[in-house]
Amino acid sequence: MGFFKDFKDDFSQAVNELMPGEDNLESTDKDDDMVVNTLEDEVDVASELSKLDGLLEQVTKQEPALERTQAATVEPQKTREEYTQHAMAAAQEEKKMADNTVTPVQVAQTGAQAAASQTTPQEKPIVSDEVSVITEGTIINGDVISNGSLDIRGQVDGNVSCNGKLTVTGVVNGNSNTSEFFADSAQVEGEVVSSGTVKIGLGSVIIGNVTSNSAVIAGAIKGDIDVQGPVVVDTSAVVMGNIKSRSVQINNGAVIEGFCSQCYADVDVQSLFNAKKGN
């Protein structure tokens, strides 16, 4: 019996150790009641949601910063290359702009060239087919200008300018500027300028220089003759002055007191003599 009693006591003790006592059960029940009581408290859902929203905003703000940090750390070399290319492109663009920049001096030169191109082509004078006649016994004191031709049989004390042909059989005391000039038994005291041909007929007296493209002289001239083309000095001609022309023909009987120079000829006389001198 004693053995069984001891075994029973040992078994009871082991069971007691394995199973919690009333005190432990009461404490456990109290703890469970406390947990249940906390869950039964009312929860402020709005405040909890606001906390979640705040956390969400923080996360969304941190994501771009994190991406920028990663981009800066992962691709620094690519960024520097792009910057270098951009700088080179900007430098080339500035150079092009500098090359295409127009300075005030260039603007002035361009304006001068444009003005020269506008003024260089000279407009042809308007030539009328009409012929104005100054009859014998008529004296005009003053300049005479005509778009056509003039036939002076009287006397003009002044300069004469016409776009056509000027024919003088009277007296002209003044300079004349025409496209063609013809004098027949005329008296002219003044410079004769013509863009064409000058013909001085028999019995005419010219006191003044003659300038034209070609000339035929049968009268008397006291003055220098400057002709770009040929000059024909006829038998009855008397010239007191120098003759400059491309070529000259002097007929037998003509009288010339002056020098003749074919300065407008194609032959370089000076180089010809220098070559012979060298030989």
**Non-local CB neighbours of 34 within 8 Å, separated by 6+ positions:** none
pLDDT tens for the 279 residues of the chain, in order:
555 556 556 656 665 665 555 454 454 444 444 444 444 455 555 565 555 555 555 545 555 555 555 554 544 444 556 656 766 777 777 666 656 554 554 545 555 565 555 544 456 667 778 899 999 999 999 999 999 999 999 999 999 999 999 999 999 999 999 999 999 999 999 999 999 999 999 999 999 999 999 999 999 999 999 999 999 999 999 999 999 999 999 999 999 999 999 999 888 777 777 765 555
Pairing of strands 225-227, 220-222: unpaired
CA atoms within a 13 Å half-sphere pointing along the CA-CB vector of 154:
15
8 Å CB contact between 162 and 149: yes
pLDDT number for residue 33: 46
One-letter identity of residue 48 = E
Compute, in degrees rounded to 10, the torsion defined by CA atoms 222, 224, 226, 231. 50
Cα–Cα distance measured from residue 169 to residue 152, given in angstroms and rounded to the nearest whole number: 6
pLDDT number for residue 273: 77
pLDDT number for residue 99: 60
**In terms of DSSP H, where are the helices of the chain?**
2-18, 22-40, 45-74, 76-100, 104-119, 269-278
One-letter identity of residue 73 = T
Q: Tokens 């402020």 label which residue?
A: 44
pLDDT number for residue 128: 76
Q: State the DSSP code for 252.
A: T
pLDDT number for residue 68: 57
Cα–Cα distance measured from residue 55 to residue 66, given in angstroms and rounded to the nearest whole number: 16
Q: Where are the domains of the chain?
A: 2-35, 50-92, 131-269
Pairing of strands 192-194, 255-257: unpaired
Q: Distances in Å between the alpha carbon of 25 and those of 19, 39, 141, 165?
A: 9, 21, 155, 150
